[in-house]
Amino acid sequence: MPELPEVETTRRGLAPALEGRVLTRVVVRERRLRWRLPAGFEAALAGCRVREVRRRAKYLLIATDRGTLIVHLGMSGSLRIVDPALAPQPHDHVDLLLDSGRAVRFNDPRRFGCLIFVAGDPLAHPLLRTLGPEPLSSEFDADYLYRRTRRRRVAIKQLVMNAAIVVGVGNIYASEALFRAGLRPQRAAGRLTRAEVVRLVAAIRRVLGAAIKVGGTTLRDYVNADGLPGYFRQKLFVYERAGEPCRVCQTPIRQRVQGQRSTYWCPTCQR
DNA sequence: ATGGGCACCTGGCTGC
DNA sequence: TGCAGCCAGGTGCCCA
């Protein structure tokens, strides 16, 4: 579910409730997440004081004085600040109780998400070590992407969704960025011109930035740390709009499956 | 190295 | 009404 804007929105909601707080107790109701929670998970976290809540790609990094809790929301996960007295709902798998009297509650129906507690540098963890640059950092520029696209036959949409190239761009924002750049998703990455790559980099940054500003995109179940949806859905040009008129030229939006994911584009605006 | 496909899960919707 | 089939915001891993 959540792509970079949704994870960043969650981070911003969690940070004020978590930073400086002690995790007094950890309650696990379901250990079978993407990776099974180890036996010592609760004990390792209990008593930790949260230093800060960071983000790398779609991972949330809850840094404490004794280690870092790495959280990924998978397709259907959310983290909410709740009153721990509130009765747990289905798929409320983990609670982190805070010394403020509140709790962070992890809910994930599909259980593609994960929670991993690491003692050392979280960025050195195998899951994070091989990630490409952040799309909103200066490292991700046209020079970089142009270089990484050369001699690549994959479709540009799949390349842009590859976390080794650039992180945080999932199925919604890949389609949306390509629309804004005027590029067909099925174009071979290696055949983009330099000018096209310049447009694409700008479009990725713009669309992610705009989505963060309005709290991300809620299609079905995404909610932020306060349980509220994001409002970027209203700004989508192509995603989940197959057959509907293009907002720019009225041509019906097309859809096809590309690398097992639905792709949407306007055959007139995108070349 | 690159690319393609499957797997992991639950729930909601569609159409018979 | 019931149920099979399909689809969904991600990504690790295996194979050619």
Question: Domain coordinates of chain A in residue numbers?
Answer: 4-124, 142-265
Q: Average pLDDT for residues A255-271, to the nearest whole number?
A: 97
User: What CATH code is assigned to A142-265?
Assistant: 1.10.8.50
Top CATH class, A4-124: alpha beta
The pLDDT score that the predictor gives to residue A112 is: 97
The pLDDT score that the predictor gives to residue A221 is: 84
| Segment among A18-32, A81-95, A216-230 with least mean pLDDT | A216-230
Do the beta carbons of residue A157 and residue A244 sit within 8 Å?
Answer: no
The pLDDT score that the predictor gives to residue A80 is: 97
Residue at shortest CA–C1' distance from C11: A74
Is residue A220 very low, low, confident or very high in pLDDT (cuts 50, 70, 90)?
A: confident
| Segment among A26-35, A192-201, A212-221, A262-271 with least mean pLDDT | A212-221
Asked whether strand B has any atom less than 7 Å from the CB of A193, the reply is no
- Look at the pTM and tell me if it is higher than 0.85: yes
Is residue A3 very low, low, confident or very high in pLDDT (cuts 50, 70, 90)?
A: very high
Asked whether strand B has any atom less than 7 Å from the CB of A54, the reply is no
Of residues A49, A150, A261, A267, which has the active-site annotation? A261
Residue at shortest CA–C1' distance from B11: A109
Can A4-124 and A142-265 be said to share one CATH topology?
A: no
